[in-house]
A and B are shown apart, each in its own frame.
Chain A
Amino acid sequence: MGELHRYFLIFFGALLVYNILLIRFIGLCSYFGISTSMDTSIGMSLAVIFVMLISSTISWGLWNYVLAPLGIGEFLYIPVFIFVIASFVQLEEMFIRKTAPTLYKAMGIYLPLITTNCAVLAAATEVAKPGFLKMSIAYNYTLPEAWVYTLGVALGYSVALIIFAAIRERVDFAPVPAPLKGYPMAFVTSALMSLAFTGFTGLFGL
């Protein structure tokens, strides 16, 4: 298998076939919380792409140069990775508050919540700890592969979030039965979206 071919498979596997929101259900809290408007969805997507790439790089380095050689990864990976992500998000929050106050206002409570965005921890762990994800191609990533994978996951998150926000803006005006108004209808909508994404199963033999 050529190098480029492998990158291609990893990227589209993470983006479509194993879409982190709609197929794997990781990161749903922010998905439902923030998708009420298009602007915040785009802001959140950018923040997630940024945070994910950096935290995955750090966790990859930590696993391969510290945790695995010392043999302490198996029981220390959760505290170590989450601590790195949490401190990094805290830093990023301060940075955005100082440099881009409008963006900070738009993202509001959701920026600190990236810390608890399961998607970030999941991606960071998957690129580092072998065998964490049950995708046939996901084993012992090199650093460039880890980047490609993370980018795929983050873009998959963004695509799903932005499509969902767009649909939701329309659904808000649709005549749905009263008990289903709001969140319940949002779930039914994402059921249909998820159904569409299951159509990607088996694409490129993944």
Chain B
Amino acid sequence: MKAQMMDLTRGVVLENPLLRLMIGLCSALAVSVKVENALFMGIAVIFVLTLSNVVISLIRPVTPDNIRIPIFLVVVSAFVTIVDLVLKAYFPDIYARLGVWIPLIVVNCIILGRAEAFAYRNGLIASAMDGLGMGAGFTMVLVVMGAIRELLGTGSISVMGVTLVSLGSGFQAPTFMITFPGAFLTFGLVMGGLNKIQAVMAERAARRATPSMGKTASGGA
């Protein structure tokens, strides 16, 4: 049970796909213009990642090593096609905004990376947990970035037509934040912020650990 929790939480913090492993960046930067887009993209990625991890883990014994990558891709693309068609049928507005990013989930490095590095080497439950955790980590960062960019870039955050937060009409929104360069800048600063927080936490842990000479802060790396 503990190992499974570990599989689940690892993707959220320690090995966050976006901020730590630096994979799956393309879609993250592009769709984080709005919180709503980020949520839908996150759900799509969690769905595809978990199910493809499960299937790849299941067909592991019959997969020849040499052609495993094309096989992974076929599995992943089946699930992506499902998401593509479902979104197109039931959420046409969202689909129009996410546009090319839904088909491009197929080549999202997170999914192939997890298939290769985890699902291909681990059992069913562990793979499903890994998929959920990594997907959750992806979604979390996406929503945080979407919130920062939407709030600063447009002055308010609205999801499905409901305004959640507003900075008031006096706020002159710098549209820079919702343009493309704003995405790079926000991501760089979010990452730098996380580094700073981790450095401070590691320092505190080290200071606490010094008198007892116990375990040192090895988790901060």
Interface residues of A (CB under 8 A from B): 22-29, 32-33, 75-79, 82-83, 86-87, 90, 112-113, 115-118, 120-122, 125, 132-134, 177-180, 183-188, 190-192, 194-195, 198
Residue pair A184, B183 in contact (C-beta under 8 Å): no
**Nearest-CB distance from B180 to chain A (Å)?**
5
Q: Quick check: is B174 within 8 A (CB to CB) of the other chain?
A: no
Of B76-84, B150-158, B163-171, the segment with at least 4 beta carbons within 8 Å of chain A is B76-84
CA distance A28 to B183 in the complex (A): 12
Residue pair B104, A121 in contact (C-beta under 8 Å): yes
**Nearest-CB distance from B167 to chain A (Å)?**
22
**Nearest-CB distance from B73 to chain A (Å)?**
5
**Nearest-CB distance from A64 to chain B (Å)?**
19
Residue pair B180, A82 in contact (C-beta under 8 Å): no
CA distance A128 to B61 in the complex (A): 36
Residues of A within 8 A of B210 (CB): none
Residue pair A186, B100 in contact (C-beta under 8 Å): no
Residue pair A188, B29 in contact (C-beta under 8 Å): no
CB-CB contacts below 8 Å: B27-47 with A? 27, 29-30
Q: Can you show 18 pairs from A to B with CB atoms below 8 A apart?
A: A25-B183, A26-B26, A26-B30, A26-B104, A27-B26, A29-B23, A33-B22, A78-B77, A78-B81, A79-B78, A82-B107, A121-B103, A177-B192, A178-B199, A184-B195, A188-B188, A191-B184, A198-B181
CA distance A33 to B180 in the complex (A): 20
Residues of A within 8 A of B112 (CB): 115-116
Q: Quick check: is B193 within 8 A (CB to CB) of the other chain?
A: yes
CA distance A84 to B79 in the complex (A): 18
Q: Quick check: is B6 within 8 A (CB to CB) of the other chain?
A: no
Residues of B within 8 A of A116 (CB): 107-109, 112-113
Q: A116-B109, A121-B104 known; A29 and B192 CB under 8 Å?
A: no
Residues of A within 8 A of B187 (CB): 187
Residue pair B181, A194 in contact (C-beta under 8 Å): yes
CA distance A194 to B181 in the complex (A): 5
Give the 7 A-B residue pairs with the shortest CB-CB distance, closest first. Answer: A187-B188, A191-B184, A184-B192, A179-B196, A191-B185, A179-B195, A79-B77
CB-CB contacts below 8 Å: B7-36 with A? 22-27, 29-30
Main secondary structure of the interface of B (DSSP, over half): helix
Q: Quick check: is B92 within 8 A (CB to CB) of the other chain?
A: no
| B67, B103, B187, B199 pick with most chain A CB within 10 angstroms | B103
Residues of B within 8 A of A22 (CB): 180
B25, B74, B184, B193: the one within 8 Å of A188 (CB): B184
Closest residue of chain B to A181, judged by CB? B195
A78, A82, A112, A195: the one within 8 Å of B181 (CB): A195
Main secondary structure of the interface of A (DSSP, over half): helix
Residues of A within 8 A of B119 (CB): none
Residue pair A194, B107 in contact (C-beta under 8 Å): no
**Nearest-CB distance from B75 to chain A (Å)?**
10
Apart from A183-B188, A188-B185, list 15 A-B contacts with CB within 8 A: A25-B27, A25-B183, A26-B104, A28-B26, A29-B23, A78-B77, A86-B70, A115-B69, A115-B107, A133-B100, A179-B193, A179-B196, A187-B187, A187-B188, A194-B181
Q: A26-B104, A27-B26, A132-B100 known; A188 and B77 CB under 8 Å?
A: no
Q: Quick check: is B189 within 8 A (CB to CB) of the other chain?
A: yes
Residues of A within 8 A of B172 (CB): none
Q: Quick check: is B220 within 8 A (CB to CB) of the other chain?
A: no
**Nearest-CB distance from B160 to chain A (Å)?**
24
Closest residue of chain A to B76, judged by CB? A82
CA distance A22 to B84 in the complex (A): 25
CA distance A28 to B69 in the complex (A): 20
